[in-house]
Structure 1
Amino acid sequence: MSPTPSAPSGTAPLDSYLDSWAPAPVRDEDSLHAGPVAALSAVFDLPGSAAEAGDPIPPLWHWLHFLNWPAHSELGHDGHPANGHFLPPIPNRQRMWAGGRCEVTEPLRLGEPAQRLSSLSAVTSKRGRTGELLFVTERREFRQGGRTRLVEEQDIVYRSGRSTAQHPDKLDESAPPRTDSPWQLPLRPDPALLFRFSALTANAHRIHYDAPYCRNDEGYPGLVVHGPLLVLLMLELPRRHASGRQVRSLSYRLRRPVFAGERISACGTPAGGGAQLSIATHREAQHATAEVSFG
């Protein structure tokens, strides 16, 4: 997650564009076929990557389903859709995924039709020390077999104009992550891994595959590792170290970006009925953080 950028001077307040913006809820269906789960297991080099109908979907792996593939002509310069049902009508939007929460009553299961109801939960315009930002929370309810299985909220931050955030000029790809956590999962994401994850999540954002664009347009030193990938990597820790316990709730926050080629580690510490999780590099210990509670 990039540092909060400053709003450009001389522009109208972001909330002035939202007077008539009230998108209605959207219903979607998905068969939850097993292919994407098996594919992501292979990307993460997980043993026994085969997935079958009836298997429970790991927490947040439903991000591989209910995907939206707009026409290519509908993409903006940055690769994101130029327009969309829950995209706020502000000019020159810059989108940053800030965090989210999820409550799991029972896991979704592969091979069984599922329904998703998406709605706008909250819209808040704030002005902080670095400028004006629009916070948008999208709520998603997932039903399967006539029951609500999980409820998720995603927090997205928008601003008008480009970021002025500062990033390292050069990356040290040899330095080990800063961590002494009891749970650790190392990873060195490369362009091929980012490409495969983009394909699995229908993500055409150029910061994940176009290095010249990253440097020249966004001011990054290299390809940016997906925020959702970092979240799923953190959630691998309770799956591996507390496999007999079901995650009932989780929250996560994306703080600073991680770049392809850096040595990273998902770090975890058991805490009472859950665990504290984070993503570390040599530059800092908490690029992303998460908290899970077990049932």
Structure 2
Amino acid sequence: MSLRTQLDGWQPEPITEHDVIAQAPVAALSAVLDQPLAAREGEPLPPLWHWLHFLEWPPQQELGADGHPRAGHFLPPIPDRRRMFAGGRSRVSAPLLVGLETERISTLDRAVVKQGSTGEMVFVTVHTELRQRGETRVIDEVDYVYRSGEDSRRVFEPASGPPPDPSDPWRLPVDTDPTLLFRFSALTANAHRIHYDAPYATRVERYPGLVAHGPLLVLLMLELVRRNEPRPVRCLDYRLRRPVFCGEPVLVHGFPEADAAELVVSGAGGRTHATARVELA
């Protein structure tokens, strides 16, 4: 049965949730990034750090063999799901403030079946609005790609050699070691075993090693802006190109323009793993 047929009639309703943008997760991610506290109560939250909030903790018995929930509101109803974080966009009209109750309204924007080199894939975009004090402050769209089952044609090879040495003025070398991946999994309630269970990642999903989180790569690109540019980010467009595997050295680098910046995560052999463009206020 084709994936398009399995998605017939799937149109989940929007959901509204509430959470407080607490300081504790902000302090935890700041420590993971070897930085001072990024924001205190009443101060602006760095862009996309709301990913540390509104976390889902399903009962252990509801997790699948891969660590992901077997069912979920915006998880497409296809068998043996394999999920990949593909990219997204964010618009910030005003930053979220730490310490305030926040409303999140999430909607399925689209679910499209496409034919890729390894078979059919479902591209799902979830549209989210984040509100504080009755005002929409952040609009966030995240793109996910789902496969049904494993595909022997999907092959990932680790690269060798150091990352490139570009002349970009913004630079942040990153050591993708297991403790970094483990701590980020804990911060984001991400139980996907490809990030912390090496035998599962290599033997079942046939990766060459543990996989660095796509959201982590995006936040590292935004770190370049946070550490080098006092103006706030107003718009962000990012794309994940290829996985980064545990132990691979990467260089996060960027080139500022007048009111924008181009950001890249580069790895061994000159591979491009992620890209982003931000527009500044």
**TM-score scaled by length of structure 1:** 0.92
- Residue 220 of structure 1: aligned partner: 207
CA distance in 1: counterparts of 2:84 and 2:269, whole angstroms: 21
Segment drifting more, 140-149 vs 48-57 = 48-57
Task: Report SS of the residue matched to 2:21.
Answer: coil
CA distance in 2: counterparts of 1:193 and 1:76, whole angstroms: 24
Deviations 1:68-107 (A, max 9, x none): 0000000001001110010010111111111000000010
Is 2:142 aligned against 1:154?
Answer: yes
Is 2:7 aligned against 1:18?
Answer: yes
Contact persistence 1:101–1:252 (CA under 8 A)? yes
CA distance in 1: counterparts of 2:273 and 2:159, whole angstroms: 15
- Residue 267 of structure 1: aligned partner: 253
Contact persistence 1:278–1:285 (CA under 8 A)? no
Task: Report SS of the residue matched to 1:287.
Answer: strand
Give the alignment of 1:95-244 within 5 angstroms.
Answer: 95-163=83-151, 164-168=153-157, 172=160, 175-180=161-166, 181-242=168-229, 244=230
Contact persistence 1:53–1:110 (CA under 8 A)? yes
What is the aligned counterpart of 2:29 among 23, 40, 47? 40
- Residue 17 of structure 2: aligned partner: 28
**Residue identity in the other structure for 2:53:** H
CA distance in 2: counterparts of 1:42 and 1:276, whole angstroms: 26
**Residue identity in the other structure for 1:275:** A
- Residue 247 of structure 1: aligned partner: 233
**Residue identity in the other structure for 2:31:** A
User: Which residues of structure 1 form unaligned runs of 5+?
Assistant: 1-11
Contact persistence 1:231–1:288 (CA under 8 A)? yes
Distance 1:225 1:129, change over 3 A: closer
- Residue 80 of structure 1: aligned partner: 68
Structure 1 moving runs of 4+ over 4 Å: none
Is 2:50 aligned against 1:67?
Answer: no
Contact persistence 2:176–2:248 (CA under 8 A)? yes
**TM-score scaled by length of structure 2:** 0.96
Is 2:273 aligned against 1:284?
Answer: no
Task: Report SS of the residue matched to 1:283.
Answer: helix
Higher relative contact order (CA 8 A, sep 6+): 1
User: Which residues of structure 2 form unaligned runs of 5+?
Assistant: none
Contact persistence 1:214–1:220 (CA under 8 A)? yes
Deviations 1:205-227 (A, max 9, x none): 00000001111011111111100
CA distance in 2: counterparts of 1:137 and 1:50, whole angstroms: 29
What is the CA RMSD across the aligned residues, in angstroms? Answer: 1.3
How many corresponding residue pairs? Answer: 279
